[in-house]
Structure 1
Amino acid sequence: MNAPDPTPIAPRLTSLSHGGGCGCKIAPGVLSQILAQSGAAGVLPPELLVGLETADDAAVYRLNDDQALVATTDFFMPIVDDPYEFGRIAATNALSDVYAMGGKPIMALALVAMPVSQLPLEVIGAILRGGQDVCRAAGIPVAGGHTIDSVEPIYGLVAMGLVHPERVRKNAGARPGDVLVLGKPLGVGVYSAALKKEQLSDAHYRQMIDSTTRLNTPGPLLAGLDGVHAITDVTGFGLAGHALEMARGAGATVRIDWTRVPLLPGVADLAAQGFVTGASARNWAGYGEDVALAAGLPTTAQALLTDPQTSGGLLVACAPAEVDAVLAVFAREGFAHAAVVGGVQAGPARLDVR
């Protein structure tokens, strides 16, 4: 009789968490209530260029006439079972907020919470290695961090970057007449829902990994264009939620032309089959009253507009004369599916989808 294999079998990472990726975000309506209960933001020095006021992607602190520090953090539970890819996705997503402010990352700190009694150390090491490889690709070190023993696996980064104070791009700078450009196709949440039910094809899984591990490097290049007025990244609140934040910041109406919105391959069919995350419904409950959906849209449009994007694309508001330059930056950085998806017009702070 052979002796039992002493090597522990690691459970599926996604089986250890109640949600995954940016779908773990607290629902926008609940988050608003929590922040309202938290009181004042504390000391607000004049050097703080971006804080809590418009739910922007990162804080920005002016250091001197030529430099401002961009600081942010992002972490979540597994969206995939491969530990190395989970680490890559989480790190890419965390660095995205620096790029979305127009900054260039300079270093990161790792945030690691793991069920040490359930996961082999090799698995945890692979998660960290994935994050380190993404930071290496971004040209920055993982310079430290913090670890705890946790019930669910959680990984992410504190990310810091630098930007010229005059090149900071907030989510609130859009102007009536601007054109909206989206850098990545939608559908990561739909893919993750299918993956959790073991119904995602190998080809679509590869598409998912390619999208979620593609660093949003166009950010600082776009911020260097005078005609780019606002940038944000589309993550847990979906395209609708982040476009609505842009509308509220600008005090204007944002319009999305649904037929122009790029989708990851097969996403429309998967959504029609019911592969939709619970976060999509929570998102709609949180902000749907400020979104107008035109008659005749596909039945899946609402679910896809609210689909939580883990490590999603940049959403850029720019002057019409700058559109070609914006698309050229995206193309040069490898974002072949970047597309014009709508615009900004005078009107109430809301989102119109047609």
Structure 2
Amino acid sequence: MHDEIVFCKGGGCTAKLGPGILASVLEKLPKATTDSNLLVGFDSSDDAAVYQLTPDLAVVQTLDFFPPMVDDPYTFGQIAATNALSDIYAMGGEVKTALNIVCFPENMDLNVLGEIMLGGNEKVQEAGGVLVGGHSIADIDVKYGLSVMGIIHPDKIYRNNSCQEGDQLLLTKPLGVGIVCTAQRVGKSSNEAMDIAIRSMITLNKYAAEIIKRYQVHACTDVTGFGFLGHLQEMLGYDFGAEIDSLQVPHIPESLHYANEFFLTAAAQRNRNHVGNRVDFRHIPFAMEEVLFDPQTSGGLLVSLPPEDAKLALKEIQSLGLPCGLVGEVTRKDDKRIIVR
């Protein structure tokens, strides 16, 4: 606590508006169809916008910010920046510049803000980018994030909805971060579980992205506030289904115990309400269902690629040290269901 203001009330990607609410608003906005240089906009719910400048160069643009989900300001800054930078990697891009986005109470210790921004700057530098400024406003609660600009070749964009039948699905980080952070807020999470969650949240997806660039990637997204199943649905669209092997899904082991103890988030239930009617759970424990709906903060990449490439990429990504796995297969089913076995 700083100056009687609670720093961590529960945030991260659990603070996102639900996917159903967001979709109902975005569908009313006019699509940007008049500019042929806009290669990726918001109409496909992709991770970032891509705008072509020359035949060989396009810019990738994204923005993300949220309230704290951990008590340490420096760690929060690292997590928020890592999360915002992730969208560039999910598109296949290279980070170049970033701008701070800050909401901060005027009567809170400014050293707290300094620690947040130092943590964020560390991750921008690790990404190979440059922090070039930002914008701040006075608010009753702390919020922090980045607007990030990257570059990419127009022919090498990873879209989130271009998977192919028979592809294997590779997940590069463990699930369960939201559940563990919820347990931590009420003093029920172990140090070991929280350490895994923090290590996952501050690990840049840069390193997994560098590996998958050597393989034939058909589609890619990062798993954040809409949970594994919500982002998988965006990847599949209405042309494909998927079969998921729950035994291969990487997760923080204690997250299953905490889910059984009902350390759940409202955001996870919004995710269930949005995508649950498309999911066919085959003898799956309640706790694993919750892990699959759990909103992730700074989650891993979900990559759709041919089976042989997927196996080779997995071996390389395992060397990064975080739980990862080949979690399922893209199918072409008549009813387009996501089957979880």
TM-score normalised by structure 1 residue count: 0.92
Question: Does residue 321 of structure 2 align to residue 327 of structure 1?
Answer: no
**Structure 1: which 5+ runs fail to align?**
1-7
**Aligned-pair distance for 1:353?**
1.2
Distance in 2 of aligned mates of 1:221 and 1:350: 31
Q: Tell me which residue corresponds to 1:192.
A: 181
C-alpha contact (below 8 Å) 2:99/2:133 kept by paired residues: yes
* Residue of structure 1 in register with 2:91 after alignment: 101
CA distance in 1, matches of 2:195, 2:177: 12
User: Paired residue for 2:132?
Assistant: 143
Matched, 1:280 2:280: no
Shift of residue 222 of structure 1?
4.8
- 3-state secondary structure, aligned to 2:286: coil
2:69 to 67, 79, 83: 79
1:26 to 17, 20, 33: 17
Q: Deviations over 1:288-316 (max 9, x none)?
A: 1122212x111212211110000000001
Cα pair distance change 1:10/1:205, threshold 3 Å: farther
Q: What residue number does 2:26 align with?
A: 35
Displacement after TM superposition at 1:223 (Å): 5.4
Alpha-carbon distance, 1:270 to partner: 1.2
Report sequence identity in percent. Answer: 40
Is 2:241 the counterpart of 1:253?
A: yes
| Secondary structure of 1:327 counterpart | helix
Q: For 2:198 and 2:311, locate their aligned partners in 1 and report how far apart those are by CA, in whole Å.
A: 28
1:10 is displaced (CA, Å) by: 5.7
Q: Distance in 2 between matches of 1:319 and 1:42?
A: 32
Is 1:153 equivalent to 2:147 in the alignment? no
Q: Is 2:291 the counterpart of 1:304?
A: yes
Moved more, 316-325 or 80-89: 316-325
The answer for the alignment partner of 2:303 in structure 1 is 316
CA contact (8 A) 2:32 2:41 kept: no
Kept in 2, the 8 Å contact 1:233–1:314? The answer is: yes
The alpha-carbon deviation at position 9 of structure 1 amounts to 4.1
Query: Aligned partner of 2:270: which letter?
Result: R
- 2:35 alignment counterpart: 45
State how 1:77-226 maps to structure 2 within 5 Å: 77-117=67-107, 119-218=108-207, 220-222=209-211, 224-226=213-215
CA distance in 2 between partners of 1:112 and 1:244 (Å): 32
Aligned length: 340
1:3 alignment partner in structure 2: none
SS in 1 for 2:56: coil
Letter in 2 for 1:75: F
Structure 2 gaps, min length 5:
none
Query: SS at the partner of 1:68?
Result: strand
Answer yes or no: is 1:12 the counterpart of 2:6.
Answer: yes
| Structure 1 pair 228–284 and aligned structure 2 pair: CA distance change class (3 A) | same
Structure showing greater radius of gyration is: 1
SS at match of 1:325: helix
Distance 1:336 1:220 in 2: 14
- How far the C-alpha of 1:329 sits from its partner, in A, is 3.8
Question: Matched residues in 1 for 2:109 and 2:35: separation?
Answer: 45
Distance 2:281 2:313 in 1: 27
User: Match of 2:8, as an amino acid?
Assistant: T
**2:54 is the alignment partner of 1:64:** yes
Distance 2:93 2:66 in 1: 23
Question: Is the partner of 1:175 in helix, strand or coil?
Answer: coil
Between the aligned partners of 1:63 and 1:222, the Cα distance in structure 2 is 26
